[in-house]
Amino acid sequence: MEENPKQENQEQEELKQEDVKQEELKFTQSDFQEALKKEIERKTKGMPSKEELKAFNEWKESQKTDEIKQAEREIEYKEAISKLEEKNNYIAILESGVKKEDSDYVLFKVSKMEGDFEDNLTKFLKENPKYLNTEPQFVKKVSSSVSMVGKTNSNLSETNQKMNDLIRSARD
């Protein structure tokens, strides 16, 4: 009986796969944890502890000269001033009537212009009125019909009462 060479190869492959399956190692939880602990120790070998790292950073800070410390303070100061100016510019943009969704773009464009920010903002908005909020804003004006001329402190509570009544009636 002659067997097909393809069939023989297939049988050999199946036998190899069974051998590989039998050779697989099975680990218990404790074996796994032990191997993990060894790997962590191997990886962290030579690395400083938290206390050593803190001590090193303190030493490094103590080695800085007064000039270096002064330079770092100046950098922090300049960054704080820059952030403050940016916020003030953003407020100026919103107060000038720019749409909120366009305010970041307008801030970017106007900040890149040479010269005073307020002047540049005015010029930019004249050239690009599309960024302005065109919705009408209504302001409700409330006036008093009570005259305060010639009132003394004795009549002050009466006047206050009249004003409070007028305010309450306007709210309702």
Structure token pair of residue 19: 């051998």
Q: In the chain, what's the furthest Cα-to-Cα distance?
A: 133
Please report where in the chains the tokens 């950073």 appear, as a residue: 57
For the chain, how far is it from start to end, CA to CA, in angstroms? 109
Q: Please answer whether residues 132 and 140 qualify as being in contact, where contact means their C-beta atoms are separated by less than 8 angstroms.
A: no
pTM: 0.43
Chain segment 7-59, per-residue pLDDT in tens: 777 777 776 666 655 556 677 888 888 988 888 888 888 888 888 889 988 88
* Three state DSSP letters for 79-134: HHHHHHHHHHHHHHHHHCCECHHHHHHHHHHHHCCCCCHHHHHHHHHHHCHHHECC
Give residue 76's pLDDT. 94
Give residue 80's pLDDT. 94
Chain segment 3-16, per-residue pLDDT in tens: 566 677 777 777 66
Rounded distance between C-alpha atoms, residue 76 and residue 82, angstroms? 10
